Amino acid sequence: MEPTFSLTEIDQLIRDLQPDDPYRWWSLPAWARQFEWQPPLLRFQVWLAGTVAWCMNANINQSLQSRYRSPRIAPYVFIRNRFEAVNNVHQDRFFARHHIDGFSISIPTSLISQGRLLVYYPEKSLGDGAAAVETEGYFDSRNTPPWDTWIDYFEEPSVEGQNGWERSERYYLIAWVPPALVEVIQRGIDVNPEQCLQWLEDSNTLFKDLWAETKHYNLLNSK
C-alpha cells in the first residue's frame, strides 16, 4: 500500500508550533510570517502539503484556465504586498477545506515527489501571453501560475554589483505543478523568452540550495 500523510497531522503540527494560540500566526504582519517557523524549511513543507492536497481535490473536468483558480481562495485585488497575497491564499485554503464535503485529507507521498516546483519571477515577466496560449490558460497573460498552486514567495537580499535584470531575480514565487501537467508546463517554459518561468532545479535561487537540504529534514517524506 502506498505511503500517505494526512492533513490532520499537518494541522496538529501547526497547533504544536503555536501552542498558545494556533491561529495567532495568521494575524502576524506579512513580513513577520516569513520568519515565524524554525527550521525555515518546515513552513514551506507544511504549505506544500496544503497546496498539494487542495490541487489533488480539483475538478479535472474543468479547463486548465479555471481548474486551479478556485474563486473561494482567490487573492485579494487590493493587497498591500506579495507576501500578504500568498499568505491570504493559504489562510483561505486552510479554513475553506474544512467546509468542503468529501475533501480528501489523505495524500500519497509520491504525489509530492512526482510533482515539480516551479519558480516565477514577476519582475521579469514581459506579459506577452505566449505561455498562456501554450498551456491553454494555465498561466495568465502575465505568466502567473494559478493561485491554487502557490506555495511561497521570497525576496532575496540584494548583491552589490548586480544589474537590473539580475536584481529582478531576487523576487520570486514558488508554485507546485501536478505530475500530470509537467509536460504541459514545460511547453509554457519553452515559449517564455524572458525566462520568468523556471523549474526550481534550473534556477539560481538561494532556495534551491535550501530545498536540497530536505534530504536531512523532510517532514513529508519521513513516513
Residue 3 has pLDDT above 80, yes or no: no
162 versus 71: which is more confidently predicted?
71
C-alpha 177/C-alpha 64 separation (Å) is 12
Of residues 148, 114, 145, 121, the one with CA closest to residue 132: 145
199 versus 83: which is more confidently predicted?
199
Using a pLDDT cut of 70, give the percent of the chain over it: 70
For the stretch 52-56, contacts whose Cβ atoms lie closer than 8 Å and that sit 24 or more positions apart, written own/partner, are 52/107, 52/111, 52/112, 52/115, 52/176, 53/7, 53/97, 53/104, 53/105, 53/107, 54/93, 54/97, 54/148, 55/148, 55/149, 55/176, 55/178, 56/104, 56/107, 56/111, 56/178
HSE at residue 116, side-chain half, CA atoms within 13 A, is 18
Q: Find the angle CA(184)-CA(156)-CA(165) to the nearest 5 degrees.
A: 70
Residue 195's pLDDT is: 93
Residue 163's pLDDT is: 61
Residue 4's pLDDT is: 67
Residue 91's pLDDT is: 84
